[in-house]
Amino acid sequence: MRRASRYPLGDVTVFSLIIINKAGGLIYQREYQAGLRSLSTNDYLVLAGTFHGVHAITRSITPKLPLAQTSPATTTPGGGGSAPPAGYSYPNPGIAASGLEHLETEKFRLTCFQTLTGTKFLLFTDPMTGNVDTIMNKIYELYADYVMKNPFYQLEMPVRCEAFDRHLGAWLRGRT
Amino acid sequence: MSSSKASRIGEETRIDKVNAELVTLTYGTIVAQLCQDYDSDYQEVNKQLDKMGYNIGMRLIEDFLAKSGVGRCANFRETADMIAKVGFKIFLNVAPTVTNWTSDNNQFSLIFDENPLADFVELPDDGRAQDELWFSNILCGVLRGALEMVQMQIEAHFVSDILRGDDTTEMRVSLVRYIEDEMPPEEE
């Protein structure tokens, strides 16, 4: 079942993609909708830097629970007279705290995927778009192939790889 | 994550393959050329191979993460299993044995039963290569580069090689430290 397109030029799901390196620098930015209003290069750089900072903040403000203590009396943290906890840990210690992952408005959804190496992929999509994870994985694979494996691509520098543009563009257009 | 799960990921991750002999011959040519360029200064050749591997590892890690879809390892033991059973499996189609852990779980050995880089290879009999050249030293660099990108500083070196007449090919890997989330270097 396909819903009627909300857009004059067809069924748009992915608006644009931004890639931010691990230092917060903008290294890639593309629109996938013809005629989409774009910001100035400087605005994109500021956006990338700001998002990088906000992402780091969201990670650092992740609530931490007090560590379980040896004495059974402290099962209710903050209860009267209980000793201060020995330390704090994340609710699920096996999984590292992530930063901001989704940001949603009435008009669009921003999905952030941070790789284990620290690179961030920001995808602007329609809020109704499903399977953003699949799209994200595919983008990451294409990035690994056409950017990282290009011997002349310098790590952490802006991505100017024509093959990456081509394959990504073709794949995103092909899936709608 | 259990090591059997790591094995399964290693088996199931599909990645484009090329002819193994092409890899062997290409790598052999590189090492031979380095030996020639550095006038059989094997220490220097080892160093260059490690450096080349380092640059490969820093890039290859993204491919590894994208294709295998694995998450962060909880500890260094899990990392070792990932390297042996997923990393080596998908890129070289070998699965070295992880063994000889130190009691603090910070050092282990990888024993290679087979090494596709070294097929057909006989070290030069100039009396020094047998003692000085680590033919597959590029692998140490690859591990170092790849793990550095996922916040682990390690040290890796070969301690024995069948090519030198040893009984096994063994690489020793030690965790130096986890690189904490530090302020990224200034980028201008």
Q: Judge whether A105 lies within some domain.
A: yes
Q: Is residue A36 part of a domain?
A: yes
B65–A24: do the CB atoms touch at under 8 Å? no
In a domain, A81, yes or no: no
Contacts with A50 (C-beta within 8 Å, 6 or more apart), sequence order = none
Structural domain range at position A26: 10-62+88-174
B63 to A22: CB separation less than 8 angstroms, yes or no? no
Residue A4, domain member (yes or no): no
Higher pLDDT, residue A85 or A34? A34
A133 touches chain B (CB under 8 A): no
**Distance of alpha carbon B15 from the chain centroid:** 18
- State the pLDDT confidence band at A6, using cuts at 50, 70 and 90: low
Q: Does residue A25 belong to any structural domain of this protein?
A: yes
**How distant is the Cα of A49 from the closest Cα of chain B, in angstroms?**
12
Q: Give the pLDDT mean for B34-51.
A: 95
Measured from the Cβ of residue A142, the count of other Cβ atoms closer than 10 Å reads 21
Measure CB to CB from residue B67 to each of A24, A94, A141 and give the nearest one.
Answer: A141
| Structural domain contains residue A151 | yes
**This prediction's pTM:** 0.83
**pLDDT of B149 strictly over 90:** yes
- Report the domain count for chain A: 1
Residue A144 Cα, gap to closest chain B Cα (Å): 5
Give the pLDDT score at A83: 60
Q: Which of B65, B67, B184 shows the shortest C-beta gap to A23?
A: B184
ipTM: 0.83
Is there a contact between B98 and B110 (Cβ–Cβ < 8 Å)?
Answer: yes
Instruction: Assign residue A148 the CATH number of its domain.
Output: 3.30.450.70
Quick check: A148 and B62 CB within 8 A?
yes
> How many Cβ pairs within 8 Å bridge chains A and B?
50
Q: Considering CB atoms only, which of B61, B69, B71 is closest to A117?
A: B61
Least confident of A45-49, B4-8, B62-66, B180-184: B180-184
Q: Please judge whether A117 and B184 are an interchain contact, meaning their C-beta atoms are less than 8 angstroms apart.
A: no
Give A15-59 pLDDT, tens digit per residue: 999 999 999 999 999 988 877 888 888 999 999 999 999 999 998
Any chain A CB within 8 A of the CB of B14? no
Is residue A118 in a domain?
yes
For residue A1, being part of any structural domain is answered with no
